[in-house]
Chain A
């Protein structure tokens, strides 16, 4: 199935439609809540939590014997939370730093999960296959009930986000200040954290434990580059997340043998790279252009103010001076002289130059600004 076929089938084929709607919702909620994770500097906590949820999935299967997604995800939720609290406990009670605690819990829980998974695989009663989908995600296994579940959770998140928008924003920006205003910061904090954990768990089936954190971070990091408003950032992140989800799922469903997780993450990464480079206000490309322009302007201004110092000493401002004098000045090149002439700040005749009235005014202003900035 080619990608085009896939998208033409989306509207007619029931399964494809389910998958597409599912990943779209997932992408949107991840982008939205991921924005909070990024702004709270908890980017990598998501990574730890998603890895830590693996043993929960395996244990839920071992206890119940079912492959019902909701049961497995409940297991994931519990073990993800245990991981998160343990990280907090390690940081609070020992001198180990956050990064060590994150890396430790992430890898140890994951290893334990893999031990259980391989143990399950070798069990004789073997209706076990299918747990691997939680490693890298398999959107094709999404059922309509899963999609409904995601939609309901997303709906609840949206309502809460809308109600507590003001409080969320305040806590994200300045938690201490929020406290002095009389807000219960612990409550808001718990609310945000549980939503982030919920988003991670929801995504496990589609994106998988290994790459889930990128699904949270990438849309938010991309969205941040395009706006300076929190609400716009969250909406953009939701859109980027949705697009990554849909396009990624489309590509992975149209090829055999591709897990959805890595494809979605790569699509999201393309959004990030594009945003990093081409965002007009923060992007690297425009930053470089501005930098070069500033440097050129600076050179021009320096030459001009050198000339201004010379001209100042004469009664007649338009008195001509030799170009040769400028040789002592390092910033000077023929190019700068030409530029200045184009801007009509100076006139050049043969080997002599003289300042125009306009140039004198402009240089004078530069001089004053300079004094003010000191």
Chain B
């Protein structure tokens, strides 16, 4: 049987003036994988998912989701931005932030109602944040803030999830909670793409991996391609991690 691709990226190129960020990336993400994007700082990992999501305009290339242009398939895609990208002192509550996940399906002007609220509460429950629903977001710990962001994406009820460094600066409990939810999503047939920093945990957490350093170095199942050779190609120096088979 032919593999079904959730996301297909063709010839994607992004550059700021002379500084190349991503060059001619071809990437196909099979449906139902839990994929890590790894690479050194400045490799363009965040830029890659941001340009897939249309936050950054690429100078060339196209993105399709389940065979159709991304613009028409937005509702199938959910996004968890980097935690540091927003002002956490913003006057709003945890529940309010999670509710924002429903705005896309509502469209312009329409207000969220009880259905949306119910969905938001369920998502909060799933990430273990229900007791904190009325809490001002600045009064949450870093891990809790990350879980709120995850809940907001869960509410979108998408097929594909893009997450930008969800494990950055979170406590161990949150890390485990998040990875469990990601694994659940995969079990439900969803596709999850995570920008990831910690190479040690790649084999344990993910089943698919993409090595990126301005160009795509390799992409495929962790078991087959997560090796010293690709790591060295990506990170430049002799890189060795013990790969658990």
A–B in direct contact per CB < 8 Å: yes
Chain A residues near B (Cβ < 8 Å): 39, 41, 163-167, 169-170, 172-174, 176-183, 224, 227-230, 232-233
Task: Output the least CB separation between B207 and chain A (Å).
Answer: 25
Chain B residues near A (Cβ < 8 Å): 50, 53-55, 74-75, 77, 79, 81, 85-87, 90-93, 96-97, 100, 103-104, 106, 108-112, 136, 152
Contact A180 B79 (CB under 8 A): yes
Task: Output the least CB separation between B141 and chain A (Å).
Answer: 11
CA distance A343 to B100 in the complex (A): 46
Residues in chain A near residue B50, CB distance under 8 A: 176
A–B pairs, 19, beta carbons within 8 Å:
A41-B87, A163-B109, A166-B109, A166-B111, A169-B92, A169-B96, A172-B90, A173-B87, A173-B90, A174-B81, A174-B86, A176-B50, A179-B55, A181-B104, A183-B104, A183-B108, A229-B96, A230-B90, A232-B91
Contact A177 B100 (CB under 8 A): yes
Contact A177 B54 (CB under 8 A): no
Nearest chain-A residue to B53 (Cβ)? Answer: A180
Contact of B86 among A164, A167, A173, A179 (CB under 8 A): A173
Residues in chain B near residue A167, CB distance under 8 A: 103, 108-109
A182-B104 contact given A174-B81, A174-B85, CB 8 Å threshold: yes
CA distance A164 to B93 in the complex (A): 19
CA distance A41 to B86 in the complex (A): 12
Contact of A174 among B74, B77, B100 (CB under 8 A): B100
Contact A39 B108 (CB under 8 A): no
Residues in chain A near residue B106, CB distance under 8 A: 166
Task: Output the least CB separation between B52 and chain A (Å).
Answer: 10
Task: Output the least CB separation between B84 and chain A (Å).
Answer: 12
CA distance A178 to B111 in the complex (A): 15
Interface centre among B81, B100, B106, B111 (most CB of A within 10 A): B100
Contact A176 B93 (CB under 8 A): no
Contact A228 B91 (CB under 8 A): yes
CA distance A369 to B222 in the complex (A): 39
Contact B92 A179 (CB under 8 A): no
Contact B91 A224 (CB under 8 A): yes
Contact A177 B81 (CB under 8 A): yes
Task: Output the least CB separation between A223 and chain B (Å).
Answer: 9
A228-B104 contact given A174-B86, A177-B79, CB 8 Å threshold: no
Residues in chain B near residue A183, CB distance under 8 A: 103-104, 108
Residues in chain A near residue B90, CB distance under 8 A: 39, 172-173, 230
Interface centre among A164, A181, A230 (most CB of B within 10 A): A181
Residues in chain B near residue A224, CB distance under 8 A: 91
Contact of A173 among B53, B92, B104 (CB under 8 A): B92
Contact A230 B91 (CB under 8 A): yes
Residues in chain B near residue A228, CB distance under 8 A: 91-93, 136
Contact A173 B97 (CB under 8 A): yes
CA distance A39 to B189 in the complex (A): 39
Task: Output the least CB separation between B153 and chain A (Å).
Answer: 9
Contact of B54 among A170, A174, A179 (CB under 8 A): A179
A170-B100 contact given A164-B109, A224-B91, CB 8 Å threshold: yes
Residues in chain A near residue B92, CB distance under 8 A: 169, 173, 228-230
Residues in chain B near residue A165, CB distance under 8 A: 111
Contact B112 A166 (CB under 8 A): yes
Nearest chain-B residue to A41 (Cβ)? Answer: B87
CA distance A224 to B92 in the complex (A): 11
Nearest chain-A residue to B88 (Cβ)? Answer: A173
CA distance A69 to B54 in the complex (A): 45
Task: Output the least CB separation between B9 and chain A (Å).
Answer: 16
Contact B93 A229 (CB under 8 A): yes
Q: With A169-B92, A173-B90, A183-B108 given, name 11 new contacts (CB 8 A).
A: A163-B109, A166-B103, A173-B100, A174-B85, A174-B100, A177-B79, A177-B100, A181-B103, A183-B103, A228-B92, A229-B91
Task: Output the least CB separation between B226 and chain A (Å).
Answer: 29
CA distance A126 to B136 in the complex (A): 58
Nearest chain-B residue to A167 (Cβ)? Answer: B108
Contact of B55 among A164, A172, A176, A227 (CB under 8 A): A176
